[in-house]
Amino acid sequence: MTGSGFSTRGSDQITLAVPHGTASRRTLWGRDELLDELLVAVRNEGHKQDAGAVHVIQGLGGVGKTSVAVSVAHRLQRETDQVWWIGAQDASRFTGGLTALARQLGVPDEEIAVGRLADQLWRRLSALEEPWLLVVDNADDARLLDGPGRLALGTGLVRPHRSPRGLVLVTSRDGRPGTWGDHAVLHRLTPLGDGDGADVLLDLAGPSAGSREEAAELARRLGGLPLALNTVGRYLAAVGQRPARFRDAGETATFAEFRASLDDGGAFPHPGTATALAGIWRMSLDLLTERGHRCVRPLLEVLANFADAPVPLILADPAVLGEDEAFAGVGGAEIWAALQALAGLGLVDLAAANGVETVALHPLVRDAHGNPGRYALNARLLDEAALSDEAGLPEDVERWPLWSALTPHTVHAQTFESDSDDNGLFLVTWTAAMLVARSLDAQGQLSQARKLLEEVVARLGGSLGEDHPDTLLCRHNLARVLDDQGHLDQARTIYEDILTTQRNTLVENHPITLVTRNNLALVLHSQGHYDQARTIFEDILTTRRNTLGEHHVDTLVTHHNLALVLDDQGHLDQARTIYEDILDIERNTFGENHPSTLTTRNNLAVVLHSQGHHDLAAAEMAAVLSARRRVLGPEHPYTLSTQEWLNTINAARGEP
């Protein structure tokens, strides 16, 4: 809006009345604290420092911003008749409302016509001594509130005032502080919790629709979004009021049925709900597109294709996105601006957890914007992220938070299907799945790792063949997990099958073959075949020393495994010497509390215990336990194993 004056034509047809409806008649669940805060502001109780500030209720479309404003207005109407409501959906409605209010407050038409409306209006509002409330509703395009001045500078058509008992309340999806300026107080409205959401559903649909627990589960599936809760509650109430014989096929009458239909198809059984939400969010995207954010739609679709979990920003890599036609010419700065713009309207949340930057979508936003046509792009993003330097090795403890954030999206990606080839997208994402499984294994989440690897092995075998190198690699990782779980016979069978194939295609001492032989020897050791395992380890150790050197990680691993066998064979002095030598190297290379160093320290303590040095062993095992709790977590299998050993050693020392 660039004009300096306002027309008075049409303002007589503008109403300033507060809208009525269900919001004024029903309990507004979960908003008591905010309502109290706003009422205190209008009454200026305690003479708050932000008296006269513009209060902005901001949040996702459908989160209930207008309902809060209606509730505040109706409560204040019991105390004063100076409550005005202006819609800001478009320029004519907004300026017409301001003109009508100015006239009601006695601003002469000639002042309005020459462009002094804003100054005169706020001068008169500031002079009011009785309580008053001005609501500016649906100000999603805050540029309309600038007028000839600037909203953010306090010179716009909406601005701070000096009245001791007045409140300016704006509702908007735009939550960017820079939009409103330092004089504004932003109240971010978030979805309702499960309990309040259940209250909404029960309030509308009644107990005949199901139990409170079932209502809470449906509220969680709806993401606590008040618009969805109200629409679904009214729908279930309408269906429930009809005898069963008059219900059409597919109509859901209970909380549990409605939730099940959402989970089955991801679409609303009652189309009115989806239409209302889609319309609200479409307007938000239209607004952002008008502001120059040309990639917001495809970006939201890509994000919505991932799992219902916070999406690490590594999965929005500008380099990979830029290779897709939908993001042609779009760089990192523009993608970041689009993310911030989506967050500003509440469509996404930007946050950090455990050092991982993420973007999260409301469940219903995700349901509404997923686009299978972009699955191929999602698959490429996932593959590039898993193989990136930022992700690093899945066994690296410092990278576990990122791998944990990638896990749900990697698992979800295994459900992607392409129109041309059922396994086409799987062949892009299987590497990420294998790496995630390795991370799960390293973190001690063995059941999850096994389930994921079994699916990957089955699909790779069907697509590439059982003896394809990629299939063998995943089978090898599956065998490691089975070994960690104690399924030794299954692990041994897999290793022996892989080794047979490798011996037919590779030389005996090929690095890949050596890895398989090493892990097979570990299983043989666990089965009690000490002599057989020792022979294999000694042979591999000689080869790795000659080709890799004494201090190479693979050489250290084999030397460590040989010490395990020597310990069980009773060669304690030899085992102790090996552990001490390895420990010196690992401390200098990895550090005192690296997982590999801790494993060596743990096993050295076991040998010390076997040699009768119980006090020395107990002190070292206690130190390892403390470090493993800190590094791996208290429930990690290695931590629990160390705890058991410490108990055993202390028992030998005569302690309970």
Cβ count within 10 A of residue 445: 19
Q: What interhelical angle do 296-305 and 271-290 show, nearest 10? A: 140
pLDDT at 294: 87
Cβ atoms 352, 359 nearer than 8 A: no
Distances (CA, A) of 176 to 142, 185, 190, 260, 292: 10, 11, 15, 37, 16
Q: Which of 379, 372, 359, 382 is nearest to 310 (CA)?
A: 359
Q: Which of 472, 527, 526, 511 is nearest to 495 (CA)?
A: 472
pLDDT at 5: 44
DSSP annotation of 347 reads S
b/e for 500-535, b at 16 or more Cβ within 10 A? ebbeeeeeeeeeebbbbbbbbbbbbbbeebbeebbe
For 386-444, the three-class secondary structure string (H helix, E strand, C coil) is HCCCCCCCCCCHHHHHHHHHHHHHHHHHCCCCCCCCCCCCHHHHHHHHHHHHHHHHHCC
Phi and psi based region of residue 444 (left: phi greater than 0; alpha: psi -120 to 50; beta: remaining): left
Binned average pLDDT, 10 residues per bin, the chain of 656 residues: 43 73 63 88 62 88 88 89 89 86 87 78 89 91 87 90 88 89 90 92 90 93 86 80 70 85 62 60 78 90 92 95 92 92 83 88 82 93 95 92 94 80 83 95 93 95 92 95 95 95 86 93 95 95 92 93 94 94 92 92 94 93 94 91 94 84
| DSSP 3-state of 653 | coil
pLDDT at 270: 53
**Model pTM score:** 0.74
pLDDT at 240: 78
Distance CA 187, CA 35 (A): 11
Q: Which of 613, 610, 561 is nearest to 582 (CA)?
A: 561
pLDDT at 257: 87
The amino acid at 283: M
**Main-chain phi, psi angles of 310, to 5 degrees:** -55, 135
| Residues forming beta bridges with residue 150, ordered by sequence position | none
Q: Which of 223, 218, 251, 563 is nearest to 367 (CA)?
A: 223
Strands 166-172 and 83-87: unpaired
